[in-house]
Amino acid sequence: MFPTPIEKRSLPFNLSYRVAVWIALFLWLLPLIAVMVTSARSMADINGGNYWGIPTEWMFFENYTMVFTQTPMLRYLLNSLIITLPAVFGAVALSTLAGYALAKYKFRGNVALFAAFIAGNFVPFQILMIPVRDLTISMGLYDTASGLILFHIAFQTGFCTLFMRNFIVGLPDELIEAARVEGVSEWQIFWHVVLPLVRPALAALSVLIFTFIWNDYFWALVLVQSDEVRPITAGISALKGQWMASWQLIAAGSIVAALPPVILFFAMQRHFIAGLTLGATKG
């Protein structure tokens, strides 16, 4: 059976599309492959200049064992969890409340307040480095987990509020009005009507914010200096010695640091995709 003229014209496009996908996938995975191979190299292999070739001696198990036994990697992982989980909960909770108020309540300054949340997302956080550091020192929050948690909540709330407001504004007003007619309190409406409807959006936002905060290096470097509080992103850079860097351990630590967000994404994949596509088919 011969292809139709339309199918003949689509064959070159399909082929180029597939080639482009494979090239993009290879370029995207190349740094990850390089880090994984480096994490299995020996120190002699690296000192010998074998950076891209096949390792002469595979030390995958030995390197990952050394990361957990000879470095504070477990401490760094625990610090990241202590910082990330409360920050994600605080940012998502505050932004859901604020997004609901901006989406469903009509009050003076509503549009201006929403514009302020949008404008705050365009402020480069690097210019806030010195004021934020001075503020943490004056408040006694410098080099503490609570300081990082509070500032992560503050910096993520703007984007989260914009995200949640755009989802909640699409909910039917009739549901909320019907609940009010039945005598349901505003808090019960929020808890029993609004939250169940935006559960996919909450899951998607939680995965995104968890990844942002977990992978943060800038504020971890600016606001923390001791190993007792240092999260894993700043802790990996601390694995470099004063005179010599054990790149195989740094690579192994990087792979370990990347696992929690990846595991969370695959665990929440169904909710994440549903949250991102929520409302895409509405007319």
Domain residues for 258?
Answer: 69-281
Residue 12: its pLDDT value, please? 59
Q: What is the b/e burial string over 33-63, where b = at least 16 CB atoms within 10 angstroms of the residue's CB?
A: eebebbbbbbeebbeeeeeeeebeeebeeeb
Which residues of the chain fall below pLDDT 70?
Answer: 1-15, 241-244, 272, 274-283
Residue % of the chain over a pLDDT of 70: 89
Shared domain for 28 and 95, answered yes or no, is: no
- Within 10 Å of residue 200's Cβ, how many Cβ atoms? 20
Are residue 126 and residue 220 in the same domain, yes or no? yes
- 182 and 83 share a domain? yes
Taking a C-beta distance cutoff of 8 angstroms, is the pair 71, 249 a contact? yes
152 and 12 in a single domain? The answer is no
**Contact call for residues 278 and 201 (beta carbons, < 8 A):** yes
Q: Among all chains, which residue has been given the structure tokens 């932004």?
A: 95
Closest CA to 95 of 253, 251, 204, 238: 204
Q: Give the pLDDT confidence score for residue 226 in this predicted structure.
A: 87
Q: What is the pLDDT of residues 121-140, one digit of tens each?
A: 888 878 888 999 999 999 99
pLDDT digits (tens, 9 = 90+) for 140-181: 999 999 999 999 999 999 899 989 998 898 888 888 889 888
pTM of the predicted model, to two decimals? 0.83
Domain count, the chain: 2
Check whether residue 26 and residue 160 sit in a common domain.
Answer: no
Same domain for 137 and 33 = no
Return the DSSP state at 278: T
